[in-house]
Chains A and B, each alone.
Chain A
Amino acid sequence: MLKRSSSRVLTILVTAVSAAAMLAAAGCASGVAADQAGAQQGSQASATQLASLTAGGLHLDYDHLASPKAAVAASESIIRGTLVDVTDGLTLKGANAAQAGRRTPYATFVIQVGTALKGAAPNTKVYVQVNKASISNVRDLAKAGTGLEVVAVLDDISGWTPAAGVTVVRPAGVAATGPLFLAFPDGLWLQGGADRTMTGVHAEPAELTTAWGAPRTLSQYWTSLEKAAR
C-alpha cells in the first residue's frame, strides 16, 4: 500500500517537474509568441496589447529618469488620466528629412487628464507624442488602448530639430505654438481594468532604478511621483 502510494506521488512529481521544464523551455524559446497569445486572450483595453502594437519592431535605448525627484525636475508636465484616443503623430519634413531615417513615425496619445502634478489642468485633454513602430497603425492602437488608465511624465520637445534642414510638423489637434509633449520612454505607464500590473510602452518596470521603490502598479508609480512633487 505504502509502495503504491509512494509511486503515485512520484508519478505526480515527475509529471509536474516535466511540465515545468517544458513550460520553461517553451517560454525561453518563444516569449514573443506567448506574449502575443496572452494579449489576444485579454480584454480589448489591454495595456500589454497596446504596448506590443506600439513598440513591435521598435526598440529604444534611453537615459533613465533616475528617481521620482529627477522626473519631477526634468519634466514639463506630469499627468494621470485616461487614454481616450490614438491619432497620427508628428512628422518630419525638409530637404534633409531622409537624414533622419527612412521613416520616423509617431503616434499621438490623447489623454483626458484626471489629475496633474504639473503642467496641465484637470478635465482637459493633453496630446502626447509617442514613438511608434512603422509597421503599426494608429487605428489599431486606438482600438487596443482606449479606456486604459495612464500616468505620463512629459518632456517639451517644441524646440526639437532632428538634423540640419529637417523640421517638425505638429499633428492635427496640437496647437501651432506652445509645448509639444513627448513621453519619456520610462515615463509612460498604462494599466487596464483587467491588468494586475502597469505596462510601459518602451520600458519595463524592472528597468526603473531602485530610487523608484520598485512600483508594479500605476497607483504605486503615481504615489512615488506625488511624494517627490511635495
Chain B
Amino acid sequence: MRRIRIALIAIVAAAAGTLFLPGQAMATPYPETMLPDSSLHTYCFTAGFSGSRDPGTGSYAMSILDSTTDMTISNAGACSDNATDIWWFALDLAGTVRGEWQCIVVSGSVCDSADVRIDFDQIDIGDNDIADRDKTSVHEIGHSVGLGHHSPASHDCAMISGEIPSLDIKWRRYDAHDVAHINATF
C-alpha cells in the first residue's frame, strides 16, 4: 500500500511539473504561430525603416532574441534577398495597429521569410514611447519565432498586446516559459 502511495505521489508531482514548468508562469501552447526555418534569424532594414525615427528599436529586438534565447542573429545588409528571415518596414498601418508580423515566403510548415512592419505614430500615442517601441519590436520578433499573445491571461511579457502598462523590463522580454519553448525547439 505504501509503495502504491509513493508511486501515486511521484506521478502527481510529475504531472504538476508538466503543467507548471518551465518557470512559474502559466503554460502556453507552442508554437502558436509558424516557426522560422532555423535557429539563425537573419534580418534587414528597408530604406523606410532605416530612415524612420527609431531604427534602433529593430536592432534592440534582434539583440534581445540573440541574448535571451539560444537563437542567433545576423544582419543581412540591404533587403534584397527573399531568404532573409525578417524584413523590417516602417509605415502608417491602418487603424489602431501598432505593428505586424506577416509571413511572406512559406516552405512546407515553416516560414522562410516574413515582414515586420512598425507604425511609430500609433505606438507613440500615450506614454513611454521608447520603451513602447521596443516592446512592439520584441513582440513582433516573438511572433516570428512561434509565440502568440500571452499577457495578461497567462504571464507578463512582451507578448502583451497594446501599450506597455509600465516601464518594467518584463514588458520588453520574453517570459522564461517562452524562452524554454524556443530553446527546446532551436
Contact = CB atoms under 8 A, between A and B. Distances in A.
Given A134-B102, A185-B97, A17 B12 contact: yes
Contacts of A129: 94
B94 A135 contact: no
Interface in A196-221: 203-204, 206-207
Interface residues of B, number: 56
A93 interface: no
Interface string A98-110: 1111111000000
B140 A185 contact: no
Contacts of A229: none
Interface in A98-136: 98-104, 129, 131, 133-135
A14 B125 contact: no
Interface of A: 3, 6-7, 10, 13-14, 17-18, 20-21, 24-25, 27-32, 34, 56-65, 98-104, 129, 131, 133-135, 155, 157, 160-163, 166, 182, 184-186, 203-204, 206-207
4 residue pairs, one from A and one from B, having the closest CB atoms: A31-B29, A21-B15, A57-B103, A206-B153
Interface of B: 1, 4, 7-8, 11-12, 14-15, 18-19, 27-34, 46-48, 82, 87, 89, 91-104, 106, 111, 115, 117, 122, 125-126, 136, 139-140, 143, 148-149, 152-153, 161-163
Given A14-B8, A57-B111, 7 more contacts: A59-B140, A62-B95, A103-B115, A131-B94, A155-B94, A157-B95, A182-B94
